[in-house]
Amino acid sequence: MQVDALIVGAGFSGMYQLLRLRDHLGMKALALEAADGVGGTWYWNRYPGARCDSESHSYQYFFDEDLVREWQWSERYPGQAEILRYLNHVADRYALRPDIRLKTRVTAARYDEPANRWLVETDTGERYSAQFLIAAVGGLSAANVPDIPGLPSFSGRWYHTGEWPHEGVDFTGKRVGLIGTGSTGIQCAPVIAQSAAHLTVFQRTANYSIPARNAPLDDAFRQYVREHVDEIRKVMHASTNGHPFLFADRSATATPPDERDAIYRAAWEKGGLRFRAAFKDLLVDQAANDTAAGFIKARIREVVKDPARAAILSDIDHPFAAKRPPIDTEYFETFNRDNVSLVDLRAAPIVEVVPEGIRTADALYPLDIIVFATGFDAMTGAFLKIAIEGRDGLTLQQAWRAGPRNCLGLQVPGFPNLFTITGPGSPSVLCNLPVAIEQHVDWVTDCIAWMRERGATRVEPAEEAVEQWLATVQAAADATLLPSVPHSWYLGANVPGKPRIFMPYAGGMARYRAICDDVAAQGYPGFVFDAPMRATPRETGSALEA
Ligand code: N01
């Protein structure tokens, strides 16, 4: 089947890309989706307690103000089922379903240079040909199950949170082992503990978490959102992480300790990711960060009654928010329950899984169910799972062997007319994702429209621009504490053999948007087209610098 544009994925990004290309540019566009429903992340991540850490009024599309006004979120943070309902509503409201093929996994895509088309293969045997290929596959969609010896021998059941069974898992009367204390493990532990006979949490790296303070939304707040759509959007676009609040313009180190403590206490009571915005220097100054870290560790020790457990949970080895900061509902309180135990894997690592359960260096833990909340082959995994072959037989695996290389996180050299939505090298996972997604999709759509107006049929980034952008991404990371955590998935450290490169652009969403806007306004310097409108090298230099 021949189309103008083929989109891989029908989550937040794939659906919006389909809408923009089809309805705004009049292109024949088609989205291929492996699942048997739309929703991407929210289709797959059905684990107990799955909920978004972004506030619901900001975790939605903003391209259509009517859509914002008509959808009613029920809670401060939307749960998985509600987000999936929302995305299905979007699919229906904009009549996207006729142009989405479900249960169709893209397995391979090869660029045919003479024809200037992408030839795409799927697991259903169907073949597609498209001028543009848009990978809207998500940065956190390739599940990472650690290669623990003996796992196949386990006599119970095991599950990864990102591939959760649709029928759910009944923990009643079961001994459950949970591996992983990232955002996901911290969300699901309290919920599993409510129904399991016993929950054993296997902690490798202790983690910070801020109380989410989730609550039902009242009519007054919903009314406020309906009346302030434009203002809310403006704040999200001006903010570092795409959230509907700005970082306070004050320094933690310059604030007197009593005053600082009162600010932290208020932020703790308010809850959520807003805590991180209490001071402007938490992520750039170790001394400032220490004040936040100290405050949170003291709260953990206050909440957790058993001093030995409190010590293990608060023995955190990295700066606050230098790994993705989780938010929770009664996570630390869960360790006060009689049916919950905590295993410190730093003291005694997992050795193997045996038929009866998990054996660490010093004990055997009998289990009926193991839950892996062990994260994802983040940012690159989902792209690399597809056998993508660009010009001259270059595969994406080869091109990214030493780490992802691209320009603006949007285009890879040697892969003409391939666009990656929220790819590595863009703010992506550091941003409230719908904001990052809308910005990328709009940029791609505008670029294609610009090409069509000028008769260009092919675009890819110049090597020089890619080098410059990689340097910009590295410099942005180096200006923060983020690359200082050796075991962070932002660096690819959670997947054995993965190159250690800081992957997301850490210069902030607002700055990134300005760079992308500048590139577009200058006629796409750094990108090479097959029509005579190439930008000058001088322009190339200015637009992509940090
Ligand atoms: O995954 P993670 P996640 N043995 O990689 C541990 C998004 N998200 O699914 O830190 C023992 O952060 C690992 O330990 P360590 C969000 O962007 C969004 O929790 O590597 N432990 C860590 O504790 C988030 O950041 C929402 O030492 C092992 C955990 O598993 C991203 O998803 C909600 C291990 C993995 O933590 C990923 O979060 C939830 C092993 N072999 C999540 N291997 C929203 O709000 C790994 N671990 C939208």
| Mean pLDDT per 10-residue interval, the chain, length 546 residues | 98 98 98 98 97 98 98 98 98 98 98 98 98 96 94 98 96 98 98 98 98 98 97 97 97 98 98 98 98 98 98 98 97 98 98 98 98 95 96 97 97 98 97 98 98 97 98 98 94 93 97 98 97 51 62
Question: Which residues lie across from 166 on neighbouring strands?
Answer: none
pLDDT of residue 165: 97
Please tell me whether residue 240 adopts helix, strand or coil conformation. Answer: coil
Measure the CA–CA gap between 490 and 493, rounded to whole angstroms: 8
pLDDT of residue 464: 97
Distances (CA, A) of 48 to 113, 294, 396, 490: 47, 30, 35, 25
For ligand 1, atom 6, which residue shows the shortest CA distance? Answer: 180
Q: Where are the alpha helices (DSSP H) in 271-410?
A: 286-303, 307-314, 331-334, 381-384, 396-399
- Taking alpha carbons only, the member of 113, 8, 125 closest to residue 393 is 113
Query: Strands 106-112 and 387-389, how do they pair?
Result: parallel
Give the distance (Å) from ligand 1 centre to CA of residue 476. 23
What is the C-alpha separation between 363 and 75, in angstroms, rounded? 42
Nearest CA to ligand 1 atom 46: 374
**Does residue 243's CB lie within 6 angstroms of at least one atom of ligand 1?**
no
Q: How far is the CA of 219 from the centre of ligand 1 (A)?
A: 35
Domain boundaries defined on the chain: 2-142+378-544, 151-221+235-372
Rounded (10°) angle between helices 433-454 and 509-521: 0
Mutate to test the pocket of ligand 1, among 331, 494, 495, 500 (most ligand atoms within 8 A of CB): 494
Q: Which of 82, 159, 183 to mutate to test the pocket of ligand 1 (most atoms within 8 A of CB)?
A: 183
Of 324, 487, 488, best ligand 1 pocket probe by most atoms within 8 Å of the beta carbon: 324
Predicted pLDDT of residue 545: 66
- Is the shortest distance between the CB of 177 and ligand 1 below 6 Å? no
pLDDT score recorded for residue 532: 63
Give the amino acid at 371. V
Q: d(Cα 317, Cα 205) in Å, to the nearest integer?
A: 8
* Cβ atoms of residues 386 and 400 within 8 Å: no
Q: What is the pLDDT of residue 16?
A: 98
DSSP collapsed to 3 states, 258-306: HHHHHHHHHHHHHCCHHHHHHCCCCCCCHHHHHHHHHHHHHHHHHHCCC
Instruction: Provide the 10 A C-beta neighbour count for residue 298.
Output: 13
Q: 2-142+378-544: which CATH number, 2.40.50.140, 3.20.20.140, 3.40.50.300, 3.50.50.60?
A: 3.50.50.60
212 CB within 6 A, ligand 1: no
